[in-house]
Structure formats: structure tokens, C-alpha cells
Chain A
Amino acid sequence: QKEVEQNSGPLSVPEGAIASLNCTYSDRGSQSFFWYRQYSGKSPELIMFIYSNGDKEDGRFTAQLNKASQYVSLLIRDSQPSDSATYLCAVLSGGYQKVTFGIGTKLQVIP
């Protein structure tokens, strides 16, 4: 079982819709959870991180964490074509700052 699971997609949503990206993790001791965006051929860039159960909002982005279900999600409101990218979920599970990434979900926002 992979430590961090994501559906590779592609996930297609129309412009203006809400995109919902999901991630599950296997280590119950995981401490913090990250969402990165990676455009094709580029390096990952941090969108946001979350470590407490519940929601965390930053602009059009909302991260949701449910530690009991070992589930973290990212909602993108008012999706734009420029949001089309691969979204990587990453989990910090202890040790010296070692994060484990999922495979990433490819998001396509259709104009």
C-alpha cells in the first residue's frame, strides 16, 4: 500500500466550477499535510499546508483535513484555465523533515 494515495486523473472541470482533489494517507502518526501545484515541465510550488482537523482557506483554495479518516482534500473555487496543472499531496510523518508525496492528480479546467 502506497503511503500517500491520489487519483492520477485527469480531473476535468469547467471554468468557474469547484475542483475537488483528494488524498488519503496510511500513517496515522502523520503530522502535517501539504498541497503543491506543478505545471508541466516545471518544479512544484507550495499552495498551502494544514495540520489541524478542519478547513483552512487561502483565497480560492481550501484545504480540508480529517485525521480520523486519514483524508485530506483541496478545493479550488472558481476554477480558471490557469489552474490546469498537477496537484501533489504530501505528508510529513516524522523523522527529520521527510515528506512523502503522492503521484499527483492532473487537473484540466475547460474554458
Chain B
Amino acid sequence: GAGVSQSPRYKVAKRGQDVALRCDPISGHVSLFWYQQALGQGPEFLTYFQNEAQLDKSGLPSDRFFAERPEGSVSTLKIQRTQQEDSAVYLCASSIAGVYEQYFGPGTRLTVT
């Protein structure tokens, strides 16, 4: 595909459930970013990968959040034991190199009930 894709587009989870969100970056894009965007707020950085290496995970809010990109392409963001405050849109972005030309995917809207 031509752009970044994310799945699922919508996810409803009961509090305490685990969820996995997938990001397919643009082919050949080395850099991959995850952001969390709460309603009415700007995106907040979660983590950054360069190929398969997770170079910055300082934005992950707790140890319930885990991200991986084992083969340097597809990435998965996993949230364990979801809480209501995890409800947000999770955005994935990729770029050829670095933050200067990020292309965002459509996002996954997570609602925790």
C-alpha cells in the first residue's frame, strides 16, 4: 500500500483485558514512531524504532505498555491490563529517516470500558 496502515481501526476492550495494535509502515521506512492522542490533546510520543532497534521508549506511560518491531518492518504496541485512562487514539508514523518527514497512519481508536 501507499501509506501507513494500522489495525484494528477501532478497538473496545473491557478494563483488565490485553490489547495488541498493529502498524504497517511504508515499505523501506527505517524509522517508526508510536504516539498516543487523547481527545482534545496533541499527540504524545510513546516510543521510537530505527529498524528493529527500539532507541527511545521514554514516553511509554507504564510497564503495561510494550512495543516491538522484530524484523524492522511491522510493529505491534501491546497494552496489558487496560485501564480507562488508556482510552485514546494510538497513532503510528514512519519515515525514511528520523522525524523530519513523518507520515502518520489513520490511528487505532481504543476505548476501555
Contact = CB atoms under 8 A, between A and B. Distances in A.
Interface of B: 31, 33, 35, 40-45, 48, 50, 55-56, 58-59, 91, 98-107
Contacts of A99: 45, 99
B48 A98 contact: yes
Interface string A74-97: 000000000000001010100111
Nearest to B42: A101
A46 B48 contact: no
A32 interface: yes
Given A44-B43, A101-B44, A95 B106 contact: no
A94 B100 CA distance: 13
Contacts of B55: 96-97
Contacts of B58: 95, 98
Chain A interface: which size bin? 20 to 34
A12 B45 CA distance: 29
A99 to B, nearest CB: 6
Given A43-B105, A98-B48, A101-B44, A32 B100 contact: yes
Contacts, number: 55
A97 B48 contact: yes
A49 interface: yes
Contacts of A34: 99
A43 B99 CA distance: 16
Contacts of A49: 100
Contacts of B42: 4, 88, 90, 101-104
Nearest to B56: A96
Contact of B98 (A4, A8, A97): A97
23 contacts: A8-B40, A32-B99, A32-B100, A34-B99, A43-B104, A43-B105, A46-B102, A88-B42, A92-B99, A95-B56, A96-B48, A96-B55, A97-B33, A97-B56, A97-B99, A98-B45, A98-B48, A98-B56, A98-B59, A98-B99, A99-B99, A103-B41, A103-B42
